[in-house]
Structures are given as C-alpha cells and as structure tokens.
Chains A and B, each alone.
Chain A
C-alpha cells in the first residue's frame, strides 16, 4: 500500500471540489488553488518517478468497488516505469498549461469553472494512468471523455462548440462500445480484470478471443486516440479554448489509447492479426490526416490534423511491436505539440481571435518569443535532427522497416515528408513575410503565457535525448519491449536510416520554403493551382464528414422517425385503439343500459373471462 499513489489524483480532485464550492468567492483568483493542486500532483509524480527508477513497482488497493458474485473489482492503483513516464508528462504539461491559461482565459465570465474542469481532467487522467485493472482504466477513460466534452463545449453559446462537444462524446462512445465488449470478454474468459494478471493469463485465451479482444480494445483506441475511422471528432474539438486543445486534444488525453495499448502489450502480442490491423490503421491515419493538413487555413486545424497524423505514427509503432518507440514518440509529441498549440494560442490572442493563417504573416517581428518557440517545435514536428520528434519518429520507422513492413515504412516516410511540408507552410504563412490583416495590432503575450512556451520549446529541443525506450525496456509491466531492439541489423543500417529520414524531412522544409517564403503579399499557391481538383477534395477533408452524415446520421434519424410513425403510432397503437373501439362497439350493442363507466364494465367482463379460462386451464391441465 503506497499512499503516494492516491495523492497524485487527490490533489486535483480537491481542487475541483474547492473551486466548485467557492467559485464565487474565488472569482479571478480561481487559478491559484488549481495551479497549486496540479503542481503538488506533479511533485508527487516526481517522487513516484524516483521510486520506480530502479524498477520497483508500487501499488495501492483503496476500497472494493463493484462486487457481485465472482465479479470483483476494487479501486486499485499501480505504478511502474510506464506509469511514471505518463504521470510525468501528464502532470508536468498540465502544470505548464494551467499557468498559461491564467493569461489566456483572463476576463472570461466562467473563469473559475474553466480551472475546475481542467483540474477535473488532471484528476481523471492521472487515475486512468494509475489504474491497475481494466474496469478502472475504462471508467476514467470515460471520465476524461467527459472532461473533453465539457471543455470542447466550454463556450457553449456557439452552436459549433456545442455540436463539437456532442460529436466528440458520441464518437468516443462508439469506440467505448468496443472497449467495453473487450472488458466483458476478458472477464468471461479469464475471470479477472486485473491488468497484470491478464497479462500473465493471456496464453489461456482461446484463439478467437485472443484475436477479438485486442481488436476490440483497439476499437476503443481508435476513438480516444483519433484513428481511422473514428478520428473525425478531433479536428472539430478545436472549438474548445486553445489551452484545452494543447493539453487534452494534443498532449495527453488523446494519447490514452496508445498508452492503453502499450499497457496491454501481452494481449496485442498474442495476435498477429490484431498487430497487423493496428499497424495498417495507424499508418493509414498518419497519411490521411497529413494530406488533409496540407491545405487547411485555420491555424488550429492544421495542428489538429497533424495531431491525428502523429497519433497514427504512435499506433503504427504499437502495431509493429515497437512499444517503447511508441511511448517515446508520445512523450516528444506531447512536448512539441503542446508548444505548437500554446504558440497558436498566443498568436490567436495577439490577433484578437483571428485563426485564419491567410490573414497572418510577419508575426515574427511582433511575437519574438512565440515565434522562436514555434519554430523550434516546428522543427521537432517536421522531424529535423537534432530536435525531439526526429529521434522518436525514426525509432518507429526503423522498427517498421526491420519488422519487414516495407510498405508501411515507405508510407511512413512519405508522410514524414508531407509533415515537414505542411508544418513549415504553417510556419512561413504565419510568422514570415508581411502581415496581411489590415487593422491588426499584434502584441507579445504576457509572461504567464510565454514562460510555459519557453519551457516546452526547450523540451522540444532536447526531448529526443531522453532514452524513453531504454528506460521502459527495463520495466516488466509493458512486456514485449524485447521485440523492439530485435532485428536492427536488417536491410538498412541504422545510420543510413537516420540520414534518409533527415533528408526527407529537410526536403519537405525546403519545398515549403520555396513555395511560401515570400516577402510581400499572399504567397501564390502554385502547387495547388496545378492540382485544383485534388486541392478541393483535401480542403473538404476527403468528404468524410459528409459520408458519415449520409451513411450513418441521416439513416438513423430518418429511420427512427419512420419507426415512430409507422410501427409505434401506426401499427401497435393503431391495433390497440382499434381493438378498444371494437370492444367498445360490441359492448355498446350488447348492453342497453351501459353505464359508460369503463372500470365497471371491464370488471364484469373480467369475472367472465377469469371463470372461463380458469375452467379450461385447470380442467385440462391436471
């Protein structure tokens, strides 16, 4: 029983309750308890990190939760190295974003509520990470979904925000449909939901289950971690305030699916079919989202599609068995993507809520700190050495190649080129050239906002030198990391691969530079003019939303109305009313002195029916 573990989520939970009950008194000071809570949580996480450094495992069994017959679960927390890495990322970045939000959300009428929601998210996310059984993991998986719903729809007066929140919740529910079925099957087949026990019992699963369960878990991950075909909610989620986009919809919550799969490594490794599916879906997501990201004009939308794409890389890493590399990319991505989103927030702040990059340009002169950190993080995202993203992406691509997934490797490499291109298209259009908006007066953001940017920018620079895979391979819980290092002597030497991927990234940056680095006016989209029709398809996001609307939403809505009209009101109720009328008419014909009081009438009829039926039943039954 390690009491340090429950402390990590308890601080932010305390923050939620405190702000919730004292919001009126706190007013514009509501950030204070929130920041203190998450900072304490971060310090506790550091302590946990130090404790598991040597490979120890901590656990805390708090109280029995759902117990019914043989079904027994408790509030059971565990921490190993994998947990510790996630905890550091979650609480660390949360702390920075809480501080950033002080500046960003200043003056919002629902300021206290925002910080209460943020603390609620940190509470749920740390619990998710600490969960020692699948049910607990699942329920906090849903809880972070609720936090996401509330924060996407934080400005609920806008229809678009309310719609986006609802869409996120429902699409995630579809994913959770798979996740919860996996839980049920695990319990039915193995009699436990304890993650460690399940890892040990995996070989006892019958073949069909050994395939179905990881696939169903993956369905859950496609929702939370925005993979094909359920990624559609994440771009819309940008309706939320930008700190939320950075924290929940880029750095932490959306990686929960990846974390869950790494946690479940023994289950995934038990099925080649599942692994292959995961790898292909991850790779497809990376490519699809990158193509859409090429043409978006909303600064947050570009970043959102890039998040989907990068999550695809992580999932690809899981699929090729490179669990350590997937986690590595999760960590570096958290650094540079949080930095990019917060930078975007700083830009939006400076431009007075303008998000269209066609209106921007030349902002480097007005926002020196923002633009510098944005540039560093862009290099990291583009995968240019020695920035963080280069090393982790390279690990994943290397594992794909050495695992014999040549096609996936090639697609991944091509996506890396696209990534470098759209990232620097974004950078050049925003920060270089001349300011295109007429009456904008951009100004650098306050220190509460730039300080977190500088910290994250530094991490985006050096994060690639954290040896996350090496650290995790020592851990037992995540299993399967042994696969990671294997086969590095395959077709290409490691150094050659490093050079190749660096060259690909740099050529993407160079192409963006050649196209968009213009001193004056709006840069001409020469490339897009040549591919106008394709450009329109990409701009409309391959029409995926429309296809869903046409294939799923409309049929369900129309079907339900049809059901109501034809079956419920027409057939069933029609039959009932018809019968009633018929009985009424017969009754009226038979009884001249009908009292008109239905109860009396029914009662007399009842007695007759009872007598008859009783006679028939008893007479014939014995």
Chain B
C-alpha cells in the first residue's frame, strides 16, 4: 500500500464510475446502484487516505508528481494537508448522501444524473488536492459542466436561466484567474529562467511585492464569485432554487467552499503583502456578507431561497475569519467551511423532503407540521439550531473562533459580525415557526407523511457530525491546525521582510 497512488485513485474512481453509469443507460436501476457503489467506495478511499495521513505534521502529504506539459512548466502535482483532507472528507460524505436523497425525486434520465454527480465529485476532489495552478484550474473548470447540467436538465421552471447565470458568473471569475496564472508563470520565468505553475515552487520563489496587487485582485474575484462574496452573489439564490435537491446539496455542501478554499490555499500564501494590505477590506466584505445575507434571508417566503441567503451570511463568517489573519480566526474559518457544508447540506436535504411531501416551498402554505410529523420536525429543529450556531452543535465552535480571532484584529468588525448571530436566530426561528409550529393551517397538511426510515438514515450522519463537532471538536481542529499555522506564517513573514526594506507597496506599480 505504501506506493499506491491513493489521491489519483480518488479522482479516477468516480470518473470510471461515471462512465460505467453512462454505459448502463439502458438499465437505469443498475446504473444507479453502480453509481452509489462507486461513490461509497470513493468515500471509503477518502477514509483510507485519512488513515494514511499524518495529522499534525506540516507540509503536503501523499504527494504524487509527474511531468505533464514540461515545456510550459505544467506538472501533475497532487498532495494534501489538513485543510485538503477535511474538505475531501466532506466531499466523500456529502456526495453519497446527495445521491441517496435523489432516489424518489429523479425519474428521467437517471443514469446521466448519477454520472454527472460522480463527475462532479471527481472534479471537486481534484480541486482539493491539486498543487499545480493549471491542474487546479482544469478541475475548477471541469466542475462547472456537470453542475450547470444538473441545474439545466433536472432543475425547476427557470432552470436554463439559472444554469446559464451560474455558468457565466463562474466563467467570468475563472477568466481573471487564468490570466493571473499565465502572468504569474511568465513573471517567474522572467525572474528565474524557467516556466513553472507548481504551487510549492512559486511559493519558494516568492511573488515580488510590487506585482502582487493585480494578481491578488484577479484571483480574489475568481474565488469571491464562487464563495459568493456580496455583491457577486446573485447567481446563488437562482441556482439553488432551480437546482434539484442533490444539486443544491452539492452546491452548498461542497462547491461554495472551493472559493474560500482558494483563498486559504492560493491567495494568502502566494500574495502575502497584498493580503496584508487588503485584509481590512476582506473583513469588511465578510461582515457585509453576514449582515446582508441575514437581512435578505429575513425577507424570504420561499424556504429554499431563505436557506440560500443564509448561506451567504454563513460564508461571510468564513471570509471574515480568513482575512482576520490569526490562529483562531483562520482555524475557525476552515472549520466553519465544514460546518456550513454539514448544516446547510442537511437543510437542503430537508427542504427537499418537505417539498416532496407538500409540492411547495412557500412558507405561507405550511404551518403546524410539528404536530403532524413530529420526527421530521425534530430533525429540522436540530438542523435549524445547528445553523443558528447554538452551542453543543457544530456551528458554534467555528463562529466563536472566528469572532474571537476577529476581535483580536478588529473589534469593530467583530461586533458587527456578532450581530449576525442575533439575526440568524431571527430568520431561522421565524422559518421554523412558520413551517412547523402554530395550528395546522390547511386541512391537506394533516395527511403529510412522517419522515421515512430511509430519509432518517440519510440525515443521521450529518446529525452525528453536528453533535460531534459541537461537543468534541478537537480531532477536527487538530486536523486543520497545521494548515492554519503555515498560512499565518506565510502571510506574516513578508511583513517582517518589508521592515528591512525588501518588500514594497503591494498596490503600487
């Protein structure tokens, strides 16, 4: 097992699974089972990677490296650190759950649906392990296709609009990133004489402070659209509302984290001087996201839109934490990425279950369901409280670390950010009350079916994780710690350098 290319296998396996699923298009039932098998084996493989991963040791592990386009300096270079690992674990869990949840909802073009989910999983895992900028870019772009198709084919009434919007937004951002990658490579070549797009090599070289500003901006836009950071967010509510449940779950559960992952993996260590200069604006954008998302969530009557806007608010916390640039805030931000995946993933799963029963997502058409379907109401309560950030559930630990860290950097932003904690209680409890409490407002609601055993099992792993992270977060925080340490070190070093006169004004040219 020592030399088994486990990371490559993680990309190849779901791809093969996807192709096999497509090949079985005549037998949809079998195709579905093959797809489920493939994604579960992928999940187990992620666990195997975790078992082989030395927690707490710095640097990248399970590294595989091969030449790819040597004349441009592009290599196949994959490896993982703590943050990659935890994102892979999340992907490996959310994807099978999203598939299981689709059984009764997806009736036509079944094999393609599952194949696209597998391709999506492969691309996502690729994003989280790529250590070469071009390789990363390729996975980043590949991801776009199955996701857009999932929305465009199996989505709601305005699915085409939503899919195109999603595609265009991300595409525009990607362009900026591509330009920056090319520029970065060329600059490196001019300085050292050879081309490379290898992340560790570029980090060792150190991007000149004078050039960091524009490169930072280009990468930032690409990642910010994905997060999404307000005001680049309007694709998200449309995409969520139109997407089928599995699409929303993947989108909220994993996809959005690609942006914040990009911040931590590439943006901060590659452009430390620019990061330091930009950090206050980054925190500002974070708190704008927190408050803006929360206020708009308050104005929603559509269950799915409400959850979508709450996502914007939650990811605002992550952005705030990343740009507060200290131990607590960055660790909290990475943990919050996972938390958001778990909580919002579970919320979208439950929104799907409610929709299947009532054929509506309009909160005005619900009410009093807690008396009719107590078990479903209980699950939704736990998930709601987790999203609110109630202590002993996952959300609290991440939010609190972010805010403590933010307080160290900027008390003003910490105070505004904390107000988001109040607002989240307002919109989520309001949602819960309108859907579940009060008298049964429409007779037909009395016939609502209770949560099925199958649905309970789909939610169970997420609920277990909510309690686990809330009560005993150490294993998760330990996993993240090394990434945080390295990022903080990378950002702080050049600041020290600039005192010696070697750095420059990051935005001056």
Chain A interface residues toward B at CB < 8 A: 63-71, 135, 138-140, 142-143, 146, 153, 156-159, 162-163, 165-166, 169-170, 173-174, 176-177, 180-181, 183-185, 187-188, 556-557, 559-561, 563-564, 568, 572-573, 576, 580, 598-599, 602, 606, 609-610, 613-614, 617-618, 620-622
Contacts and interface: CB of A to CB of B under 8 A. Distances in A.
| 8 residue pairs, one from A and one from B, having the closest CB atoms | A69-B327, A139-B391, A162-B437, A184-B407, A560-B299, A560-B295, A156-B437, A617-B183
Interface stretch (B95-103, B239-247, B423-431): B423-431
B418 A68 contact: no
B328 A71 contact: yes
B134 to A, nearest CB: 13
Given A563-B292, A606-B178, A64 B214 contact: no
14 contacts: A68-B327, A142-B390, A143-B391, A156-B371, A157-B440, A159-B438, A173-B426, A180-B421, A557-B298, A560-B299, A598-B167, A609-B179, A614-B182, A617-B183
Contacts of A157: 368, 371, 437-440
B404 interface: yes
Contacts of A557: 298-299
Given A166-B433, A561-B299, A617 B167 contact: no
Interface in B165-220: 165, 167-169, 171, 174-175, 178-180, 182-183, 186-187, 190, 211, 214
B56 to A, nearest CB: 12
A598 B168 contact: yes
Interface stretch (B112-120, B269-277, B446-454, B469-477): B469-477
Contacts of A617: 179-180, 183, 214
A563 B296 contact: yes
B331 A68 contact: yes
Interface string B230-249: 01011000000000000000
Contacts of A70: 327-328
Contacts of B295: 556, 559-560, 563
Given A146-B385, A563-B295, 14 more contacts: A66-B397, A66-B400, A142-B390, A143-B392, A156-B371, A156-B437, A159-B438, A163-B433, A166-B433, A177-B421, A556-B298, A556-B426, A573-B234, A617-B183
A606 B175 contact: yes
A173 B328 contact: no
Contact of A184 (B300, B391, B414): B414
B404 A188 contact: yes
A490 to B, nearest CB: 41
A153 B484 CA distance: 42
A443 B357 CA distance: 47
A599 B146 CA distance: 13
Contacts of B415: 181
Contacts of B331: 68-69
B100 to A, nearest CB: 25
A139 B400 CA distance: 11
A184 B331 CA distance: 16
Nearest to B409: A188
A580 B419 CA distance: 35
A596 to B, nearest CB: 12
Nearest to A614: B182
Contacts of B407: 181, 184-185, 187-188
Contact of B168 (A143, A166, A602): A602
B234 A622 contact: no
Q: How large is the interface on B (under 10, 10 to 19, 20 to 34, 35 or more residues)?
A: 35 or more
B424 to A, nearest CB: 9
A119 B259 CA distance: 43
A66 B331 CA distance: 11
B272 to A, nearest CB: 18
Residue of B190, B234, B292, B300 with most chain A CB atoms under a 10 A cut-off: B234
A331 B493 CA distance: 57
B165 to A, nearest CB: 8
User: Chain A: interface secondary structure?
Assistant: helix
Contacts of B397: 66
B403 interface: yes
A621 B385 contact: no
Given A68-B332, A169-B429, A180-B421, A613 B404 contact: no
B234 A173 contact: no
Contacts of A580: 165, 168
Given A166-B429, A613-B179, A564 B438 contact: no
A560 B296 contact: yes
Contacts of A602: 167-168, 171
A619 to B, nearest CB: 9
Nearest to B183: A617
Nearest to B436: A156
A176 B391 CA distance: 12
Residue of B167, B186, B478 with most chain A CB atoms under a 10 A cut-off: B186
A156 B370 contact: yes
Contacts of A71: 327-328, 401, 404
A173 B474 contact: no
B403 A170 contact: no
A580 B437 CA distance: 43
Contacts of A63: 472
A572 to B, nearest CB: 5
B231 A572 contact: yes
Contact of A138 (B175, B296, B391): B391
Given A67-B477, A157-B371, A170-B429, A622 B296 contact: no
B231 A622 contact: no
A63 B370 CA distance: 36
Contact of A146 (B175, B233, B390): B390
Residue of A163, A568, A572, A620 with most chain B CB atoms under a 10 A cut-off: A568
B509 interface: yes
A564 B429 contact: no
A599 B169 CA distance: 12
Residue of B299, B403, B484 with most chain A CB atoms under a 10 A cut-off: B299
A416 B183 CA distance: 78
A622 B418 contact: no
Contacts of B418: 177, 180-181
A347 to B, nearest CB: 27
